[in-house]
Every structure is written in structure tokens, then in C-alpha cells.
Amino acid sequence: MSIRGQAYIAGIYEHPTREAKDKSAAELHVESARGALADAGLGLKDIDGYFYAGDGPGALSLANHMGLRLKHLDTTDCGGSSYILHVGHAAEAIAAGKCRVALITLAGRPRSDPSFGATMRAQNAAAPEYAFEAPYAPATANMYALAAMRHMHEFGTTSEQLAWVKVAASHHAQWNPNAVLKEVVSVADVLGSPIIASPLHRLDCCVISDGGGAIIVAAPEIANALKRPRVRIRGAGEATKHQLGGRIDLTFSAARWSGPAAFAEAGVTPADMKYASIYDSFTITVVMQLEDLGFCAKGAGGRFVADGNLISGQGRLPFNTDGGGLCNNHPSNRGGLTKVIEAVRQLRGEAHPKVQVKNCDLAVASGIGGSLATRHTSATVILERV
């Protein structure tokens, strides 16, 4: 069974808040769900499937809180890529007749609750690898930095090239009134920012923001009856990479496997993509995924992203036109959901006019959840305007 053409993204909503001091994570989930339903033109009673990862009070609590009546529940959690993976899982459930209108929500307050990041990222003391990692103080930034350092060693990738990823994101974020960072930055600005975990600078890292969002995935007969532009799910892939028993290889991510699976199901190639949403937890994350997805050869990612090649209207592959996690929003420390949302905006022609890609009929959204240097799951979806 293929999910190709079996389901549509009928509604999207990115919560406008970036700092939610007076609002609970549960309320951000509910407001996001309401926003996506309003965008689709559907109501609470239409939802019969719910997709939730680990970023809140729990699936049953939220179903209770929102008053959902569910025939299908999926709580797969693989970190920030969960929501891209959920789009594929929702399409599977719809194709199999298990539900007809699926809700995906994300929310969290890492900015207002300083303990949030620490607890979310804290390693699980019950995990068998814990004793062999915790003493060495792995954090989020220094794990991605290990991949960046090896990439530089193997392929000659430079800090200047990585900086171009941030520069491109900032060019897009200047048009997004909700973005955390709206100022256009230069390569020199990135290189002049303090080192967090060598070789990554502060501006190589994504923002920390409160917020949330939601996506509605619907069966064809429902999507066809709605008044919104139609965005169809054409293919999806997922894959998990880990430490391979100690045969560590940091030169690639699991997108090497999730990407080809998604493109094969969709029957298209990277060259067909008019737009790409690529989870940008750090600049290196984008470079590695672009290679692994097949937008350039392995090792050529640094050269591919340089000189504005990711800037809409200027480069060959417009990416993250909302400003991405690097500048716009990284709600709940998880960037997957906003990747899907901006891809849908592009396909609908509803991105900001300054960054809207002309005749955008095919787009990819891909992300890595977990840690690039230890354990992660990559999820890739191919979406089309019909």
C-alpha cells in the first residue's frame, strides 16, 4: 500500500507567540488545534484521529482537555522530526480507513520555563548508554558540533559556508513579523558571534522560543469539499540512525534513508522540488540533510549552500522561507511542525510575497529528531499542490 495521493493537508496553524509567559503548554496545544481547524474550515467534531509526540502533558490529557473523540491515536515520539513523521503516519491511517480527519499538535515553553530545555534534553537515566555518555557532558550543541567538526575534516567544509545557512534564513525572516530574529545578518556576523561548542557559533544555533502549532490531515473526499487550496501528500519516508555498535560515522544522517524512500514513493526527484523546508536546529544540520536528501553530492553541502543559494528569489533552492528555526521559531525545541507549515504555505501561494516561490507545485519537508551525533530519526515528506 502506498500513501501517494491518499490524504491532504487541509489545515495549518503556527501560533504567533514566541514568548508565552501567561499561557500553559496545554492551552497552546488547544489554541493551535483551533487555529488549524479554522484554517481548514472544519470543526472539533470532525477530528477522529490524533497525533501527538512527547511535548506536553500527554496524549490522553490533551484529548480530554480538547474534547477529542478519537478512533485513532498515535503517540510516536522521535523528537523534533515527530511532526513530519506524523504527517506520513496520518496519511497511512487515512489510507487504511482508520480515521478521516487527523489532528497533529505541538506546543511548549522552553523560553519561559528555563528548566524546560534541561528536562527535555536530559538523558534518560534508565537508558543503557546513559552511564557511558552522561559523565562526558553531551549537550545539544556539542553533539551537533561533533558532526560539524568531522564534516570539516572530511570534506573541507568551512565555518563561512555554514554561516550562509543562517544568512539565508535571516534574509527570509526579515519579512516575518512574528520571527524572533528579524535582522538580516552577514557571514561576518555569524563568524563574529561567540563560539558555543566549537566549531559552532551562537548564530549557527536555532532560537529558543515558546509556541506551538497544528496540522490537519484529511481524507480526499473531505479535502475536496473544503474551500482552501489543496495540498496533497505524495510520499513519506522515515529512518532511524544510531551509534551502530560503536562504528560511529558522523558524515551522514538518517535522511540518507528517509529521503530516497519519500522521493521513491512520490515518484519525483530532488531536482523536481521548487522549495525545501529543512529542519535547521543548527546550520550543519541543513548542510548534511541537503547532501543526504540528494540535493548535492556527499561532502558538497558546504559549497551548495554558499553564496545565497538557499535565498528565495536568488538561489537555486529556496529553503525555510519563514526564517526557519534559526531565525523565526523553534517551539518546544522541536522544529518539525513548522517545516511542514511553511511548505504548505508555499504550495498554497500563501507565503510572504517577498519570499513566495513562483509556481510552487512540489515541495519537500525533512527533519532530524534526536541528536545528530548519537541517536536520531529522520522524517521526510513530499507535498504537492493539486
Partner 1 sequence: MAERTIPAPKSDPETEPFWEGARRGKLMLKRCRTCGEAHYYPRPLCPFCLGETDWIEARGTGTIYSFSTMQRAPVPYAIAYVTLDEGVTMMTNIVDCDFDALAVGQRVSLVVKPSESGQPVPMFTPTQAAS
Residue 373 is a binding residue for partner 1 (CB under 8 A): yes
Instruction: State how far the Cα of 328 lies from the Cα of 160, in Å rounded to an integer.
Output: 21
**Cβ nearer to partner 1, comparing 125 with 271:** 125
Residue 125 is a binding residue for partner 1 (CB under 8 A): yes
Residue 146 is a binding residue for partner 1 (CB under 8 A): yes
**Terminus-to-terminus CA distance in the chain, angstroms?**
21
Residue 130 is a binding residue for partner 1 (CB under 8 A): yes
Residues 6+ apart with CB under 8 A from 267: 4, 234, 235
Among 141, 191, 300, 386, binds partner 1 (CB under 8 A): 141
DSSP per residue over 204-247, as a string? Answer: GBPP-B-EEEEEEEE-HHHHTTSSSPPEEEEEEEEEEE--GGG-
Residue 208 is a binding residue for partner 1 (CB under 8 A): no
Provide the mask over 309-348, with x wherever binding to partner 1 is found by CB under 8 A and - wherever it is not: ----------------------------------------
Position of cell 543503557? Answer: 128
Instruction: State how far the Cα of 90 lies from the Cα of 199, in Å rounded to an integer.
Output: 38
From the list 24-32, 89-97, 240-248, 284-292, the region that binds partner 1 by CB under 8 A is 240-248
Residue 5 is a binding residue for partner 1 (CB under 8 A): no
The single-letter DSSP state of residue 141 is H
Burial class (CB in 10 A: 0-12, 13-18, 19+), 137: exposed
Among 1, 22, 115, 135, binds partner 1 (CB under 8 A): 135
The neighbouring-strand residues paired with 235 are 382
State the cell numbers at 223.
479535502
Among 70, 73, 191, 195, binds partner 1 (CB under 8 A): 195
Among 44, 118, 225, 248, binds partner 1 (CB under 8 A): 248
Q: Which of residues 9-68 bind partner 1 (CB under 8 A)?
A: none
Query: Considering the complex, what minimum distance in angstroms separates the CB of residue 122 from partner 1?
Result: 11
Query: Considering the complex, what minimum distance in angstroms separates the CB of residue 221 from partner 1?
Result: 46
State the cell numbers at 151.
564534516
Give residues in contact with partner 1 (CB under 8 A): 125, 128-139, 141-142, 145-150, 153, 194-200, 243, 245-248, 250, 373-374
